[in-house]
Structure 1
Amino acid sequence: MIEQLKNVLEDMAISYDEKKDGQFAGYMDGILEWNQHVNLTAIKDREEFLEKHYIDSLLCAGSSEFQRSETIIDVGTGGGFPGVPLAIAFPEKQFTLMDSLNKRIRIIQQLCEELGIHNVTAIHGRAEELGRKKDLRESFDVCVSRAVANMSTLSEYCLPFVKVGGCFIAYKGPDCEEELLAAENAIDKLGGSIARRENFASLGVRESSGSELEHQLIFVLKNKPTMSKFPRKPGTPAKEPIK
């Protein structure tokens, strides 16, 4: 099982050692144990967890935008994905994980402390509120998100956190063409532009890794500051996506 993860990391030229191996194994054990009491993931099978939470989370790691980044925020992190796997793989980078459910944030904090994952800060709050805070707004090189929301709404959550010149990387399903077209105007209003789409194969991961992931990554470049009126008040981006 861990060999499969090791193969993927090697494909992306990411180092893998005993410490990282222990952190990946320990975090999976912790999430699955906590999941009996708090809804963190629908996945209970370890091999499926490895593929859909770990390998999937690491998809962006081979991109130039991620490689040159130093500060990353994960919006709507849920059980810590993609933020924690990326943090384990890249201990030299700094990660901020945010979620609207405080129970999840406390669990992530506890597990990271227990496993010695020192480059993660977990914060509780809604993106619409945190995106207006001076210490967070336009403060990150990269924003990643696997949150379930249409691209227009997700961009309003995420782009305010990204520095000009930085990048928002959205994990989307294989059939998102219409969704992306519908979001182009919203992304432009928020200061960004869609640069490209990448899938599992195009990111250089060989078939021998054994994965059959369908996520593709949408790379949105931040070209100019986000207007101060965005993000709008909590709930509005989901109810009334920018058109």
Structure 2
Amino acid sequence: MNEEILLKEGSLLMGFEMDEKTAQRLLKYLHILWEWNKRINLTAEASRETIIIKHFLDSLGGINLIKEKEGKLADVGSGAGFPGMVMALCIPRMDTVLIESIGKKGEFLRSIIRELGMENASVEVARAEDLGRNPDFRECFDYTTIRAVSSLRVIVEYCLPLLKKGGFMLAYKGPGVYEEIKEAGNALEVMGGSVVEVYEYELPYTGERRSIALIEKIRESPRKYPRRAGIPQKRPL
């Protein structure tokens, strides 16, 4: 199937009607990613079609959970830009900060922003734990997104300190999300988060099951969190 048709029809199946300009920008992003992937490991997928389905379309899973299509969004552990770069391209009024700790991946993300002339996206090469203690970033965001980083009990400590009270965290997960939510009970309580809903969906063309835990920040996170870089992963709450 033609890549543009795959992307546009797939996005409709995900509940998002993509205009021509957005589709072309995403396809240019795909082309740049494909070339960069020959130099550094950004994705293990063997074909461009698989990248569209497993990464681009999966990133759209959370787009209808973002009710206000403007404000500030932090994508934690952006890697190759999923879901944050896709969100930034599809929601142009959302000011998006892509947080990535690996310098080469940050360089790739900045190249996408330059090539596409994006004015609503920026990159921070840093650990989320460090930014969560930085007053320029702490409690500054309306939304955080995170995908394929770690277990829920770990990532709530990365994401919730970045959110304003009343903001929302979108944790992209697989079908085992309910067990992760149980395990994250203490972390959610400590960090001031509450699970609002679990949105379940299937990837177009493959039927693979995915889910997103939508978590609201109902109170401020204690000032001593997040802990130093690496500690949340080693000693989850």
In 2, Cα distance between the equivalents of 1:85 and 1:67? Answer: 16
> Which runs of 5 or more residues in structure 2 are unaligned?
none
For residues 182-197 of structure 1, the aligned pairs below 5 Å read 182-197=183-198
Structure 1 gap segments, 5+ residues each:
202-206
- Quote the residue 1:175 is aligned against: 176
* 4+ residue segments displaced more than 6 Å: none
1:219 equivalenced with 2:214 (yes/no): yes
Provide Cα deviations, 1:84-135, integer angstroms capped at 9, x if missing partner: 1111111111110001101111111112211122211111000111111111
Q: Which residue of 2 aligns with 1:61?
A: 63
2:44 maps to 42
CA contact (8 A) 1:192 1:221 kept: yes
1:26 maps to 2:23: no
Work out the CA distance in 2 between the residues paired with 1:139 and 1:17.
30
| Partner Cα separation in structure 1 for residue 231 and residue 154 of structure 2 | 9
Quick one: which amino acid aligns to residue 232 of structure 1?
Answer: R
Matches within 5 A, 1:5-20: 5-10=7-12, 14-20=16-22
* Structure 1 counterpart of 2:138, one-letter code: R
Which residue number in structure 2 is paired with residue 100 of structure 1? 101
Instruction: State yes or no: 1:241 paired with 2:236.
Output: yes
Give the structure-1-normalised TM-score.
Answer: 0.91
TM-score for the superposition, normalised by structure 2: 0.93
Residue 83 of structure 2: aligned partner: 82
- How far apart are residue 196 of structure 1 and its match? 1.2
What residue in structure 2 maps to residue 204 of structure 1? none
Total equivalences in the alignment: 235
CA deviation string 1:188-232 (max 9, x = no partner): 11011111101115xxxxx9x534232200011100010001000
> Which is bigger in relative contact order (C-alpha 8 A, separation at least 6)?
1
Q: Is the 8 A contact 2:194 2:215 kept in 1?
A: yes
For residues 211 and 6 of structure 1, the distance between their equivalents in structure 2, rounded to whole angstroms, comes to 16
CA distance in 1, matches of 2:52, 2:67: 21
Distance 1:174 1:125, change over 3 A: same
Could you tell me which residue of structure 2 aligns to residue 109 of structure 1?
A: 110
